Amino acid sequence: MSSAEWVVIGTALFLGTTALVVPYLSEVLKRTVFAPRLSIRFALRRPFCHMTWWTSPMDLALREPVYYFLFTVLNSGKSRARLCEAFLETLWQYDASDRPVMIDSFRPMHLPLEENINPNREVYCALGLISSAKYQRHVESSKFVDVPGAASKGLRFLLAITQYPNAQPNCLVKGKYAVRVSVYSENAKRHDAYFQINWTGNWQDKEEDMFREIVIKEIPRIAN
């Protein structure tokens, strides 16, 4: 076989290999160097947590205070995070020995989150809310499902899930709890965050006073 024929064969092999490898390397780069990177940020202060008002154009007499508790999801990667979802995955209640015990009747539920998050963009997602006693009594109480064995006549911390089924807990009476929040995306690695919620069940009109009645903080991973 002549040297010219070897050159033709070698060139064909090189081009064929390149045609197979380049798309693979391109996909690897998309999923590593240029991939979205999601993280969660929270602090018990404005703008994450604040008091606002329930109002309605259909009922001008309705004006009741409500506290919202939010976290943010940041995309620090180099491409858009697509089809993002936030879930409240797990709920724990602390027992008398200060040990978190998983609530078996709780299944993962959606939290409200924007579907696509551009690079270097941070979006807010609600974790929960506490409405005034009057608003809870007249509007929200019909959908309250307490943690088993924790029924109380006090105020509820209502989890900000997008649907409220009757078959599992959706609010927290006074006590100490923990939750796991997970953020998913079609093209980004899942990110988990754990929050501890210590709640007296009491209402305060001022934010600085209310944030002593309910203390929320991010904590390390809970093993169970």
Share the mean pLDDT of the chain.
89
β-strands 188-199, 109-111: how paired? unpaired
- Cis bond before residue 119 (omega within 30° of 0): no
**Nearest in space to 198 (alpha carbons), one of 181, 210, 183:** 210
Question: How many Å apart are CA 91 and CA 159, to the nearest integer?
Answer: 11
pLDDT higher than threshold 90 for residue 217: yes
Tokens of 182: 């997970």
pLDDT higher than threshold 80 for residue 138: yes
Tokens of 105: 């009747």
pLDDT of residue 131: 98
pLDDT higher than threshold 70 for residue 10: no
Give the length of the chain: 224
Most trustworthy range by pLDDT among 52-61, 114-123, 140-149:
114-123
Q: What dotted CATH number matches 36-219? A: 2.60.40.10
What stretches of the chain show up as alpha helix (H) in DSSP?
Answer: 3-31, 133-135, 207-213
pTM for this model (two decimals): 0.84
Of the pLDDT bands very low, low, confident and very high (cuts 50, 70, 90), residue 61 is confident
**Nearest in space to 149 (alpha carbons), one of 172, 179, 180:** 172
Residue bearing the bigger pLDDT, 34 or 157: 157
pLDDT in tens, 88-106: 999 999 999 999 999 999 9
| Mean pLDDT for the stretch of residues 104-112 | 95
Residue bearing the bigger pLDDT, 152 or 46: 46
pLDDT higher than threshold 80 for residue 53: yes
Kindly list the domain boundaries of the chain, sorted by start residue: 1-33, 36-219
pLDDT in tens, 26-40: 444 455 567 999 999
β-strands 188-199, 214-219: how paired? antiparallel
Question: How many Å apart are CA 25 and CA 57, to the nearest integer?
Answer: 56
Of the pLDDT bands very low, low, confident and very high (cuts 50, 70, 90), residue 8 is low
Q: Outline where DSSP puts E strands in the chain.
A: 38-41, 49-56, 59-75, 85-94, 100-102, 109-111, 121-131, 157-159, 171-172, 175-185, 188-199, 214-219
What are φ and ψ of residue 98, in 5° steps? 65, 35
pLDDT of residue 221: 95
**Nearest in space to 85 (alpha carbons), one of 63, 113, 64, 107:** 113
| Mean pLDDT for the stretch of residues 69-96 | 97
pLDDT of residue 171: 97
